[in-house]
C-alpha cells in the first residue's frame, strides 16, 4: 500500500533521511520508531506529499507522490504531530471544511462527518469551538479530519504525544480498530506504544533504517537465550558450583540476594538454551526454585541497543 524506495531528504547540507526503503502492506499497522530527530516526521511528510523527496520514490496506493500528488493525497489521511485545527472553528465547521477540500461533498459529507465523529468520540462536542477543547479532544478532532475522506492510508505522527494515560489507551484502541480497513503508519518514540499497537516496526535512527520486523522478532533477535536469571533458595556456594557444572554454561555470577534467596546470572554459550538444565539441577538438589527467566531485554533496551549501535558504527553521522 505504501512503498518507500531509496528515500533521501536533505535540508541544505543536512541529511535528514538517507536511503530509506520499506513497504507497508494493505491493512497493516506499521510502527515507525526512533529517537527525536531521527527523521520520522520528515519521512512521513514526504509520504503525505507535504515535502518533496530529494531522491528516491514514494508510492501510495500505487500513485507516486511526486508524479501524481493529487491522486496520492486523495488516498491519504494525515495527522501531524500538532493537530492542524483552526481554533476559531467549531468541530462541525472544521470537519466540513476538511471534507470539502478532500473532495467529499453534499449528503456524503454529512454522513462521513457523523461517522468520523462517532469513531473518534467527538460527537458530544461537535458544536463547540475547537480552541476551547482539551488537548485530547483536539487530537481526536485532528484524527477525525484525517479520516473524513475514508482514506486507504492513514499517517499518524506521534498520535499520543501530550495525552494523559487514559487518553493514550483510548487512542491506541482507536488506532487498532482502524487497522484492516485502513493501512496505518504511525510514528512514536515511546516503545510500549509499538508493542501495543503495531504489527510491524521500522526502527529509524540518524535518518537510516536500523531494523525492521515484528516487535517479537526484534526482541528475539536481540536478546537471545544467552543470559538466564535464576532465583534459588539454598546454599549459595553449592548452587553456584552445581550450575557451573552444567554443559554449555560459561559463567555464573551472583546477581543479588535477599531473604535467603539468591539470584544468579547464568551466561551460556551462544545459541544455547540452558534453562531446562538449570531447572533440573536446582530441583534435583531439593533446593527451592523461585524464578527462572531469560534476562529479557525490554523493548527500551533493544531500542537503545539498535540506536546506539548504529551511532557507534558511524561516528560521522553525529
Partner 1 sequence: MRNVVTIAGKELRTYFHSPIAYLVMALFAVLCGFFFYNLTAAYVIETFRMLEMGGMGAPPMNINENVIRPLFEGILTVVLLLLVPLITMRLYAEEKRSGTIELLLTSPLTDMQIILGKFLGALCLYVLLMVLAFLDIGLLFLYGNPAAKPLLANALGFLLYGGALLSLGMWISTFTKNQIIAGIVSFAVFLLLYVFDWVSAFSNGTVGRAMSFMALTTHFDNFAKGVIDLSDLVYYLSVIGLGIFLTARSVEALKGRA
52 binds partner 1 (CB under 8 A): yes
Nearer to partner 1, 50 or 225 (CB): 50
How would you write 206-235 as a 3-class SS string? CCEEEEEECHHHHHHHHHCCCEEEEEEECC
86 binds partner 1 (CB under 8 A): yes
Question: Do residues 145 and 91 touch, judged by C-beta distance below 8 A?
Answer: no
**Residue 310 to residue 189: CA distance in whole angstroms:** 17
Site map (CB under 8 A) of partner 1, residues 103-122, x = contact: x-x-----------------
Which uninterrupted H or E stretch holds 203? strand 200-205
**Residue 239 to residue 245: CA distance in whole angstroms:** 10
Number of residues that bind partner 1 (CB under 8 A): 33
Binding test (CB under 8 A) with partner 1, winner from 39, 49, 56, 215: 49
User: Whole-number minimum distance, CB 171 to partner 1, in Å?
Assistant: 19
Q: Which stretch binds partner 1 (CB under 8 A): 49-57, 180-188, 199-207, 230-238?
A: 49-57
73 binds partner 1 (CB under 8 A): yes
Question: Do residues 289 and 279 touch, judged by C-beta distance below 8 A?
Answer: yes
Nearer to partner 1, 97 or 225 (CB): 97
Q: Which stretch binds partner 1 (CB under 8 A): 88-96, 158-166, 198-206, 232-240?
A: 88-96
User: Whole-number minimum distance, CB 172 to partner 1, in Å?
Assistant: 23
Nearer to partner 1, 50 or 287 (CB): 50
80 phi/psi in degrees, rounded to 5 = -70, 170
**Residue 94 to residue 103: CA distance in whole angstroms:** 14
* Contacts for 94-103: CB closer than 8 Å, 24+ residues apart: 94/130, 94/141, 94/145, 95/126, 95/141, 95/144, 95/145, 95/148, 98/145, 98/148, 99/148, 99/149, 102/74, 102/148, 102/149, 103/74, 103/149
User: Whole-number minimum distance, CB 9 to partner 1, in Å?
Assistant: 9
Question: Do residues 94 and 100 touch, judged by C-beta distance below 8 A?
Answer: no
Binding test (CB under 8 A) with partner 1, winner from 30, 85, 201, 211: 85
Question: Using CB under 8 A, which residues numbered 247 to 286 contact partner 1?
Answer: none
Residues making contact with partner 1 (CB under 8 A) = 11, 42, 45, 48-52, 69-71, 73-74, 76, 78, 80, 82-89, 93, 97-98, 100-103, 105, 145
Amino acid at each position: 500500500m505504501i512503498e518507500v524506495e531509496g528515500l533521501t531528504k536533505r535540508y541544505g547540507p543536512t541529511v535528514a533521511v538517507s536511503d530509506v526503503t520499506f513497504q507497508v502492506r494493505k491493512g497493516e499497522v506499521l510502527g515507525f520508531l526512533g529517537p527525536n530527530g531521527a527523521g520520522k516526521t520528515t519521512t512521513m511528510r514526504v509520504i503525505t506529499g507535504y515535502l518533496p523527496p530529494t531522491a528516491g520514490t514514494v508510492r501510495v496506493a500505487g500513485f507516486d507522490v511526486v508524479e501524481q500528488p493529487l491522486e496520492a493525497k486523495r488516498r491519504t489521511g494525515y495527522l501531524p504531530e500538532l493537530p492542524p485545527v483552526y481554533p476559531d472553528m467549531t468541530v462541525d465547521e472544521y470537519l466540513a471544511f476538511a471534507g470539502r477540500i478532500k473532495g467529499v461533498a453534499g449528503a456524503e459529507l454529512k454522513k462521513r462527518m457523523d461517522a468520523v465523529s462517532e469513531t473518534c468520540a467527538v460527537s458530544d462536542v461537535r458544536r463547540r469551538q475547537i480552541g476551547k477543547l482539551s488537548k485530547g479532544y483536539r487530537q481526536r478532532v485532528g484524527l477525525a479530519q484525517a479520516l473524513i475522506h475514508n482514506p486507504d492510508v492513514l499517517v499518524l505522527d506521534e498520535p499520543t504525544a501530550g495525552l494523559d494515560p487514559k487518553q493514550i489507551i483510548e487512542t491506541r484502541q482507536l488506532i487498532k480498530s482502524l487497522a484492516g480497513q485502513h493501512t496505518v503508519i504511525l510514528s512514536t518514540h515511546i516503545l510500549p506504544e509499538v508493542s501495543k499497537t503495531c504489527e510491524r516496526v521500522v526502527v529509524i535512527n540518524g535518518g537510516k533504517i536500523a531494523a525492521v520486523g515484528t516487535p517479537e522478532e526484534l526482541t528475539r533477535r536481540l536478546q537471545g537465550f544467552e543470559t538466564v536469571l535464576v532465583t534459588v533458595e539454598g546454599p549459595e556456594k553449592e548452587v553456584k558450583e552445581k550450575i557451573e557444572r552444567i554443559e554449555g554454561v560459561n559463567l555464573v555470577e551472583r546477581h543479588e540476594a535477599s531473604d535467603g534467596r539468591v539470584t544468579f546470572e547464568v551466561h551460556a554459550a551462544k545459541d544455547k538454551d540452558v534453562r531446562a538444565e538449570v531447572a533440573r539441577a536446582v530441583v534435583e538438589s531439593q533446593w527451592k526454585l523461585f524464578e527462572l527467566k531469560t534476562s529479557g531485554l525490554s523493548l527500551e533496551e533493544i531500542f537503545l541497543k539498535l540506536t546506539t549501535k548504529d551511532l557507534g558504527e558511524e561516528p560521522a553521522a553525529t
